[in-house]
Structure 1
Amino acid sequence: MGKVQLFEVRLADGRVVFRPGEPLAGTVSVRLAGALQFRAIKVSCVGFCGVSSKVNDTAWTVDEQYFNTTLSLADKASAPTSFEGPFGKVLHQVKAVIETSRFSKDHKCCKVFYVLCPLNLNDIPEIEQPNTTSVAKKFSYKLVKTGTVVLTATTDLKGYVVGQVIQLRTDIENKSGRDTSTIVASLVQKVAYKSKRWIYDLRTIAEVEGSAVKAWKQAEWTEQILVPALPQSILQGCSLIHIDYYIQVCLKSPEVSVALPVYIGNIPVNRIPLSPSRSVPHSPMPVVPSAPPEDEEAAGGAQHPLDNVSIPTKSHSQQQPLSYAPNLSFPEGRLDLEPGSSPNHPTLCLSTGATVPYYAEGAVLPVATASSLILPPEYSTWGYPYGKSGPIRGEPV
């Protein structure tokens, strides 16, 4: 740097997390080894979103700016929550520059900070209601026989916060003479990036597997999925990146699946506990299949009775500490914020999946899963984000 020995931006009290509309305070420190001719020292706050069609590429195909000012951080409608993924990011930073004479190089520095615009789940209609969906699938086996399987999945809520447990209940009616495959439930994240065309990045966050259902059995499977550190569902104010979550429940044989959309927010659902007299008995939703089975028993005119059983859980997805993706760079100060952070502000963690900051009051360990991806039903098998031919992109809008 020559005569400039130190040039850096420091935020007051070591704070790195802000909400839209809050003042941003700090200092710009300059230490020189000698006299320096300069015209001005300028400081600005910049917030933008950039999206690229290539993984970890900062040559943005499209971008949008939320603020660029020396007066205030942003108003409440223009500063979305910070986000960083393989195809784009929402970045907020303070920039400082020493403008020197015409034939000298300007000196520049920057400090990344994070904006958290909390998603209040109570603002979403019917968020406190159970989430239920069901599907009936007719299939053939042993060449000449047919049967029907009815799959019903229910969650206790439609929205959750990090650290909360998703209560999942699945009912399977196997109206056939063949056993099903094992049943798998997954929490799936879908991030859509709006470039010249939509780019989809899908990944399994957590996965649990239950046993198979025997022939002519009506089975019930209850499980819990712990929501790990994840970015919120809605980046309010950002039109280029959309985040969605699903609870995916599926059988591979016969091939049948259901998907329950869920929200991940920052402020939990306010639930009024039901008194015992008001509690609703937990029973599977009655579903009428499209056609009765044409097996030996059905062909004789008699309806085969279904025995009720419970499905045990076979395995959970392997949870490991988060490992960073190769060639994925992090903003300055991302990994060493805890020692200098203020005790009055939440701890900054890195989340599962995309490298998104998550803020927690207590000790939270972000976890990742190495499980194979299970796609929501509206996507075909070409939609894997990291197949043999590289990243998969969506269709033009």
Structure 2
Amino acid sequence: MGKLQVFEVIFDGGVDLFRAGEWVQGHVRIVLSQPKSDIRGIQIKYKGKGKTHWTETETHGSGDDRRTETVHYYMKEKYFEEKMLILGRDKSEKGEKVHLDAGEHNFPFRFQIPATPLPHAFEGRYGRIRYKVRAKIDRPWKFDHTVEKLFNIVGVPVDLNTRPEAPMPSASQDEKTICCLCCASGPIKASAQTDKSGYAPGETIWVSGFIENNSSREICDITAKFYQKVHFRAKRHGHGWEHHREQKTNLGEQRGEGCGEHRTASFDRKPFLVPSCPPSGLDGCDIMSIEYYIEFEADVSGTPFDLELKLPITIGTVPLYSAYYSAAFPPGEVVTQQPTAPPSEPPPPSYEVAMGGPQEIPSKSGHDYTFGKMMYAPKYPYYTFPNAGDPAYPPPAQSMYPPVQGDPAHPS
């Protein structure tokens, strides 16, 4: 490691979460085992940037002229980028080098995040949104020392109380006829529904469904899966035609028993806890977007053609006030002191690291940073809902799934 023993960026108070328009304060800490006199200056750069990237293989020509090329697809967005000198001089300026004695040195910095709509930080397979401070010890005719510190932004809010569809269930129904050799058996009918369509991290999604099997095949089981799908946009070599990629992540899964031929099966109020995750849409970003949905599926034996339903949902950063109040005082619970009126809004959220926890962030050069590996995970608003996911406090049972023709539990 040589003379440089410690080189790090520290935010005041250990805070790494900021809002658009706020001031960020901290200092660069340097510890030297011996005096150091080869420094031209110490520079700070702070920036927010979104980027998508992947490679595709293209084949051109034929015969002996056939060749394969790896093509890079990428797009970038810059939300802000500024730099400042906190010691010494810039490359364009003349002057003497800086001398630092052995021991500890602290150089304060302060900058303001632009007061513009900014997206939440995000880490994906084919793209990312990052906010960071980069400190550099500029040494002429030598390799520079660099260190980075990533931070989080409270991005564009998604208030579910402003979305009329959020309190309404997300529902779907369909039917499929499975053919057996030359004969077609009766249809398999399915319906599924969530208790509403707008949720915040920390809240529980309740899913119900119903299967009417009029076929001669067995329904092995029924499943519901909670998915996040991220859509990425990029251009060939950054400026050519546009391509798209998707990343689909399973956030939770529940299984129920199937049924035999000419029988029915139900899937009654299964809970899915919404983890710490970015909101739907990822507003403020034009090269990535996020959607969430429940996929309800009936696994039909002996055929790859299963019956699937998709239930779109919205993940917000501000929960429905009525949902929080209902969770605080569920039906049937004894309330010793009844409030005079429902709360106007829920308590403020905590900010939790994203599902999966911190991951290693490689340096731009592909080598380790000056002082080992950097671990990071974005943070998102997370609410503590009373009785979240507790089967003893499910939502009301009425209208949990739409009626299906022939369903004895829901006659026409």
- Normalising by the smaller structure, the TM-score range is 0.5 to 0.7
Identity of aligned residues (%): 27
1:41-74: CA deviation from partner (whole Å, max 9, x where unpaired): 332211111211159xxx8822211100254222
Determine whether 1:62 maps to 2:75. Answer: yes
Where in structure 2 are the equivalents of 1:221-370 lying within 5 Å? 221-222=267-268, 223-253=270-300, 255-271=306-322, 322=356, 329=362, 334=375, 356-358=378-380, 360=382
Q: Within 5 Å, give how 1:64-79 maps onto structure 2.
A: 64-70=77-83, 71-77=111-117, 79=118
Measured in 1, the distance between the counterparts of 2:374 and 2:12 equals 15
Give the CA deviation at 1:249.
Answer: 0.6
SS of the residue corresponding to residue 252 of structure 1 reads strand
> For residues 6 and 324 of structure 1, do their structure 2 counterparts lie closer, same or farther at Cα, with a shift above 3 Å needed?
closer
| Structure 1 equivalent of residue 26 of structure 2 | 26
1:44 aligns with 2:95: no
Indicate the structure (1 or 2) with the bigger Cα radius of gyration: 2
Higher mean Cα deviation, 110-119 or 212-221? 212-221
Per the TM alignment, residue 100 of structure 1 is displaced from its structure 2 partner at its CA by 4.1
The 3-state SS of whatever aligns with 2:279 is coil
Report if aligned partners of 1:119, 1:234 keep a CA contact under 8 Å in 2: no
Distance 1:323 1:35 in 2: 38
**Partner-residue secondary structure (3-state), 1:25:** strand
Corresponding residue for 2:253? Answer: 207
Runs of 4+ in 1 over 6 A off after TM superposition: none
Match of 1:232, SS state, is: coil
Cα distance, 1:105 vs structure 2: 4.0
Aligned residue type for 2:78: Q
Shift of 1:95: 1.7
Judge conservation of contact 2:203–2:383 (CA < 8 Å) in 1: no
Distance 2:248 2:73 in 1: 21
Partner of 2:103: none
C-alpha displacement of 1:163: 2.4
Query: Counterpart of 1:111?
Result: 149
Decide whether aligned partners of structure 1 residues 219 and 38 sit closer, same or farther in structure 2, where only a CA change above 3 A counts. Answer: closer
> Partners of 2:383 and 2:357 in 1: how far apart?
23
Distance (whole Å) between structure 1 residues aligned to residue 130 and residue 28 of structure 2: 20
- 1:208-234 CA distance string (max 9 Å, x none): 111113333344321222223333223
Q: Are 1:162 and 1:266, in contact at CA under 8 Å, matched by a contact in 2?
A: yes
Q: Which amino acid aligns with 1:12?
A: D
The 8 Å contact of residues 165 and 224 in structure 1, kept in 2 or not, is answered as yes
User: Distance between the aligned counterparts of 1:9 and 1:208, measured in 2?
Assistant: 44
Query: Is 1:13 the counterpart of 2:13 in the alignment?
Result: yes
Question: The residue matched to 1:271 in structure 2 has which SS?
Answer: helix
Cα distance in 2, alignment partners of residues 132 and 190 from structure 1: 19
Corresponding residue for residue 138 of structure 1: 177
Mapped pair 1:181 → 2:256: no
How many angstroms apart in 1 are the aligned matches of 2:232 and 2:167?
Answer: 29
- Partner amino acid, structure 2, of 1:72: Q
Cα contact 1:128–1:270 (8 A) shared by 2:
no
TM-score (norm 1): 0.65
**RMSD of aligned residue pairs (Cα, Å):** 3.3
1:91 partner amino acid: R
Q: Corresponding residue for 2:389?
A: none
Range with greater deviation from structure 2 (81-90 or 264-273): 264-273
| Partner-residue secondary structure (3-state), 1:130 | coil
Please tell me the residue identity of whatever aligns with 2:259: V
Give the equivalent residue in structure 2 for 1:158: 197
With over 3 angstroms needed to count, the CA separation of the structure-2 counterparts of 1:194 and 1:145, relative to structure 1, is closer
The amino acid that maps onto 1:74 is: P
Aligned mates of 2:142, 2:260 — CA distance in 1:
78
Distance of aligned partners of 1:225 and 1:5 in 2 relative to their CA distance in 1, 3 Å threshold: closer
Aligned to 2:21, what secondary structure does the other structure show?
coil
Compute the displacement of 1:260 (Å).
Answer: 0.8
Q: Which amino acid aligns with 1:234?
A: G
Task: Render the CA deviation track for 1:104-123: whole Å, top value 9, x for unaligned.
Answer: 44443221111132432223
8 Å Cα contact 1:4-1:31 kept in structure 2: yes
Q: Give, in whole Å, the separation in 2 of the partners of 1:72 and 1:51.
A: 26
Consecutive unaligned residues in structure 1, runs of 5 or more: 280-320, 336-349, 351-355, 363-397
User: Which secondary structure state, in structure 2, belongs to the residue aligned with residue 228 of structure 1?
Assistant: coil
Q: Where do 5+ consecutive residues of structure 2 fail to align?
A: 57-71, 84-110, 236-242, 332-354, 364-368, 385-412
Contact 1:45 1:73 in 2 (8 A): no
